[in-house]
Amino acid sequence: MKFIEPKPRLEQKSTWHVSEQTKATVKYYAEYTGYSEDEVVDQFLLQLRDDPKFLEWLQSKRRNKRAFSQMFADAKTEGEQIGET
């Protein structure tokens, strides 16, 4: 039997300025999925970690260990940390 994992709590509050179109998109997508708007934005932004050009840029940064540890705190293996699944 697979146990139910607790939902991660969104603990950081941020203020963003977005277009009305973007706000409406998030609102309706949240309604469609049953997630809160915060959860929709959080899940979407986590997908940026899969952008190979972004990861390449991040690896080229001089002090990238901290960025990787912050961005991939939930990763289980080293391979996942660099966008491999």
Q: What is the pLDDT of residues 39-67, one digit of tens each?
A: 999 999 999 999 999 999 999 998 889 99
pLDDT at 2 over 90: no
pLDDT at 84 over 70: no
DSSP per-residue string spanning 27-78 = HHHHHHHT--HHHHHHHHHHGGGG-HHHHHHHHHSTT-HHHHHHHTTT-SSH
User: What is the chain's mean pLDDT, rounded?
Assistant: 86
pTM score, whole prediction: 0.69
| Domains of the chain by residue range | 20-50, 51-85
